[in-house]
A and B are shown apart, each in its own frame.
Chain A
Amino acid sequence: QVRLVQSGDEVRKPGASVQISCKTSGYTFTRHAIHWVFQAPGQRLEWMGAINTASGEPKFSQRFQGRVTISRDTSATTVYMGLSNLTPDDRGLYFCARDMDYIDIAYDFYKMDVWGGGTSVAVSS
């Protein structure tokens, strides 16, 4: 079945960077985009960005632009999200999620049908 398995929880100091991986299986990796979503404790979900896994082209939310990178390794069927210059406001859960449509017929990427379990990031000095 389709699975998205994320890397383990992380602890970082302010100003540091973090990279989270999202290992996919159970489907053709390059046929579906992957999104990243952030959730601070007790707060709403926030879309960070997405990557076209076929072309490798990412796009980002304005809120995270300049600090976030999203890349993929097609041979490993894995997507990576990096976030730099961490502050305590970056503490929370980070989810990866598969876009529902096939990339080659999608109007754009806007519906997330399978989600990873989430990775907790703590930022503390």
Chain B
Amino acid sequence: QSPPTQPASVSGSPGQSITISCTGTARDIGSYNLVSWYRQVSGRAPQLIIYEGNQRPFGVSSRFSASKSGNTAVLTISGLLTEDEGDYYCCAFGSDTSLTFGEGTKLTVL
């Protein structure tokens, strides 16, 4: 199963908003509203920031939100902070009940 496609990198200035897309297929993102998003900093353990489309775990800032249209999920980060830098991965649930992480997007806050 091919990994969902993400842009290799995105950047923004503090206070701005950015979006990261995650394009899968009709057999994963297109069929289920079960996309999760994770942030990983410097190779450390990832952190769950969004699940089931647009739900945030306790403690995750409301600056993080997500949506889905067709086979593409989108993560939005508003009011960028320097601490938001890191690698962002989407994770899609597939029709074979397996999970596939996206290619990953490096966020740089200029």
Partner of B101, one of A45, A117, A118: A45
Rounded to whole angstroms, the CA-CA distance of A44 and B109 in the bound complex is 21
- Quick check: is B84 within 8 A (CB to CB) of the other chain? no
Q: Which residues of B in the span 14-67 have a Cβ within 8 Å of any Cβ on A? A: 34, 36, 38, 40, 43-48, 51-52, 57
How many A-B pairs with Cβ below 8 Å?
A: 68
Closest chain B CB from A102 CB (angstroms): 14
- Quick check: is A90 within 8 A (CB to CB) of the other chain? no
> Are B45 and A45 in contact (CB-based, < 8 A)?
no
Rounded to whole angstroms, the CA-CA distance of A45 and B101 in the bound complex is 6
Partner of B91, one of A39, A110, A117: A110
Known contacts A45-B40, A93-B43, A111 near B89 by CB under 8 Å: no
The A interface is mostly helix, strand or loop, or mixed, namely strand
> Are B43 and A47 in contact (CB-based, < 8 A)?
no
> Are A115 and B46 in contact (CB-based, < 8 A)?
yes
The B interface is mostly helix, strand or loop, or mixed, namely loop
Rounded to whole angstroms, the CA-CA distance of A110 and B97 in the bound complex is 9
- Closest B residue, CB atoms, query A45: B101
Number of interface residues of A (CB under 8 A): 24
> Are A95 and B48 in contact (CB-based, < 8 A)?
no
- Quick check: is B99 within 8 A (CB to CB) of the other chain? yes
> Are A110 and B93 in contact (CB-based, < 8 A)?
yes
Known contacts A47-B91, A111-B51, A95 near B102 by CB under 8 Å: no
- Quick check: is A58 within 8 A (CB to CB) of the other chain? no
Rounded to whole angstroms, the CA-CA distance of A117 and B52 in the bound complex is 24
By Cβ-Cβ distance, the 6 closest A-B pairs, closest first, are A115-B45, A47-B99, A111-B51, A45-B101, A110-B93, A44-B104
A residues touching B (Cβ–Cβ < 8 Å)?
A: 35, 37, 39, 44-47, 59, 61-62, 93, 95, 97, 100, 107-108, 110-113, 115-118
B residues touching A (Cβ–Cβ < 8 Å)?
A: 1, 3, 34, 36, 38, 40, 43-48, 51-52, 57, 89, 91, 93, 96-104
